[in-house]
Structure 1
Amino acid sequence: MDDQQTWQRALRAIDDWHRGLSEECRTQLGELIGRIMLLKEESLRLGLAAGSAEICRTCGGSCCRYGKYHVTILDLLAFRLNSIDPIANFDNFPFCPYGGDEGCLMPPRFRPLTCVIFNCDPIEERMGDDACRSAATLEGELREQIARAERLTGRRLGRPVLLDYGAAETAGQIVESEIPLDKGCINGNH
């Protein structure tokens, strides 16, 4: 199975899994995803204020190499809950399949955590101490919200989609990212 097939399989499986959650759980998860998306935008604004657009354009996106593993189950859920089909072109390897000539094709709030929190040295040098502390605080808040979503659902939503679903396919299993279900809200436990 190639990356594009794994991607499509993951989209279908995530949709099916989400439909299996109780209504209350879907509502709570949607609220958490909304908060995560706002925190991502806030985090990206710090880099933009320091000139990241210019720096990244000059660099050509070296940090975007091998980006195919950055999109997580939670990221795909955010797209799906907002009725948006994420774009992925896996023919660009080793470059990020979610980017193009103009840079990242994902709206800032939908970008993976790795892409949102990473600031290279030239960006951090321009950010200054206060902005760097704010970025660290935002990263902590993002990670906590993701952990809350995982506790709520009983699923490791921060796992990379291609690794999670690709590994499951290789092993002949459905998905390996489950947390014990008694801690989640699948099938109406919440």
Structure 2
Amino acid sequence: MKLYGMVDSGNCYKPRLLLAKLEQPFEHVEVSSHTGATRSAEYMAKNPNGMVPLVELEDGRLLAESNAILLYFAEGTPLLPTDRYARGLAYQWLFFEQYSHEPYIAVRKALLTVPGRAKDATPERLALTLERGNKALGVMEKHLSGSDFFVGNTMSVADIALYAYTHEAGKGGFDLSAYPAVSDWLARVAAEPGHVPIEWLP
């Protein structure tokens, strides 16, 4: 099995972290948008959307989109709830991560740290991503003030999805000390069995 992705991408870190926890072997294939590799004809033949991560299963089937990959590999494991409502909550947080969290927290980090994105780091864009990123962190803070994890009191794919960019939010100029429940949750996730850092490769 091959996992195409970028070592410094939070979206690509999500499946790496999940697969590490599940002790599922895979081959990492570095395909970086920074070098244009995601737009190569060879890669576009596998994923016409030209984005990473992408999983190529042992039988050659392909699956894209980080949260879809999480759901695929978490199926039948404790990381995906079997209770219908709890499962719905996990989906809720996965959608929240992609629509209300990643577009601001991850994008602001990229604007400030990726040289090729500097031209897009206008004062207006930085202000918007800061405002909406803090709004997302506020939603998380409120929830985590009464729960150890995002779905009940055990770790799930929802935590993996939200951890990936939240734990590096400081690089985007977000002050995590203003969110003590989020900070405590980050420490709990990092202390869970099988945890690996974002730079980890098999």
Using the size of structure 1 for normalisation, the TM-score is 0.30
Higher relative contact order (CA 8 A, sep 6+): 1
Q: Going by fraction, where is helix more abundant, 1 or 2?
A: 1
Q: Normalization by structure 2: what TM-score?
A: 0.29
